[in-house]
Amino acid sequence: MHAPIGHNSQLRLKAYQIRRTALKMGQVQGQGYIAQALDVADILAVAYFHAMTFRAGEPDWEGRDRFYLSIGHYAIALYAALIEAGIVPREELETYGGDDSCLPMSGMATYTPGMEITGGSLGQGLPIAIGACLALKRKRSSSFIYNLLSDGELGEGSTWEAAMSAAHWKLDNLIAIVDVNDQQADGPSSSVLSAEPLHEKWRAFGWFTQRVDGNDIDALVTAFDAARAHAAPQPRVIICDTLMGKGVPFLEAREKNHFIRVDDGEWDKAIDMLDAEFAR
């Protein structure tokens, strides 16, 4: 629809397509964690279409970078990215969340090509990544493990056990991405359990730490590049501040909630507004 201007414009287009595909899936079920999908779309666009190495037709290719989604409820967002990446056929979105679909509401490794781990029981992604990073090193692999975790997951002790372990083992093949949307089940993360100052915490745990606007493609590209290129033997984390509902103004403005209700008639309106925003 837009003439490609530059690489980052391509990524903005991808982020828009991920948002649109996620909205289409939400519309199929009449529900879904759509506000999260919209907030994380820019991160996924940069991960899949800038940073990561993979083969669309061969999701288990040994040489791929692995993307670990511990937040199972964000699956709708990752499915959209996997569809845009050509790993999951586009027709599948029609089955999202339905009986016997390979796209269940919560992401599971046994259901979906490209879904590396079974998430949903939060706080398991980073610990699993520790073992996988150690294994990749044993195999002399140059692949990275990316783990997308949420600010809510920072409440789990297992996350910090893993954070300490990653630095101990000097896991320079681990890139954690924290989606700080300041939301979890009972309310704003900042009021549920104060986790700030996040930058200082991760740095004190021994990580190469960056904090960026997670809805700014240029900033994300710079941060992902720096995370991959960083020379010191330590794990890397990109803390991303994001806005729930990003890209659809009436959802951005809606009262923040872990599970945002979108009424039947609103899905088309959301897609229209997304299109209009992107065209601007």
Out of 34, 38, 47, 105, which residue is the one contacting another protein (CB under 8 A)? 105
Out of 123, 127, 235, 245, which residue is the one contacting ligand TPP (CB under 6 A)? 123
What does R_g of the chain's alpha carbons equal in angstroms?
A: 18
Structure tokens at 176: 């954690």
List, in sequence order, every residue forming a beta bridge with 239; answer none if it has no partner. Answer: 178, 211
Those residues with Cβ within 8 angstroms of residue 53's Cβ, 6 or more apart along the chain or in another chain: 63, 64, 65, 143
Q: Which DSSP letter does residue 65 get?
A: P
Q: Which does 71 bind (CB under 5 to 8 A by kind): another protein, ligand TPP, Mg ion, none?
A: ligand TPP
Query: Quick check: 12 binds ligand TPP (CB under 6 A)?
Result: no
Q: Which of residues 45-104 bind ligand TPP (CB under 6 A)?
A: 71, 73
Question: Is residue 15 left, alpha or beta, with left meaning phi > 0 and alpha meaning psi from -120 to 50?
Answer: alpha
| CA angle (189 as vertex; 71, 167 as ends), nearest 5 | 60
**CA gap 157, 155 in Å, rounded:** 6
Out of 120, 160, 164, 278, which residue is the one contacting ligand TPP (CB under 6 A)? 120
Closest CA relative to residue 73, chosen from 109, 108, 105 = 105
Which helix (H) or strand (E) element contains residue 146? strand 145-150
Choose the stretch contacting ligand TPP; rule: CB under 6 A; options: 107-115, 121-129, 160-168, 207-215. Answer: 121-129
Return phi, psi of residue 116, to 5°: -75, -40
**CA gap 159, 149 in Å, rounded:** 9
Per-residue contact string for residues 38-77; x = within reach of another protein by CB under 8 A = ----------------------x-----------xx----
Structure tokens at 73: 């409820």
CB of 140 or CB of 264, closer to another protein: 264
Q: Which does 113 bind (CB under 5 to 8 A by kind): Mg ion, another protein, ligand TPP, none?
A: another protein
CB of 108 or CB of 271, closer to another protein: 108
| CA angle (48 as vertex; 133, 109 as ends), nearest 5 | 60
CB of 88 or CB of 212, closer to another protein: 88
Out of 9, 58, 94, 121, which residue is the one contacting ligand TPP (CB under 6 A)? 121
Least Å distance between CB 192 and Mg ion? 9
List, in sequence order, every residue forming a beta bridge with 18; answer none if it has no partner. Answer: none
Structure tokens at 124: 């398991």
Query: Quick check: 210 binds ligand TPP (CB under 6 A)?
Result: no
Out of 65, 156, 172, 179, which residue is the one contacting another protein (CB under 8 A)? 156
Which residue is associated with the tokens 């940073």?
51
Least Å distance between CB 123 and another protein? 8
Least Å distance between CB 138 and ligand TPP? 29
Q: Contact residues for another protein (CB under 8 A)?
A: 28-31, 60, 72-73, 88-89, 91-92, 94-95, 97-102, 104-106, 108-113, 118-123, 152-153, 155-157, 184-186, 191-193
Q: Contact residues for ligand TPP (CB under 6 A)?
A: 33, 36, 71, 73, 120-123, 150-152, 181, 183-185, 258
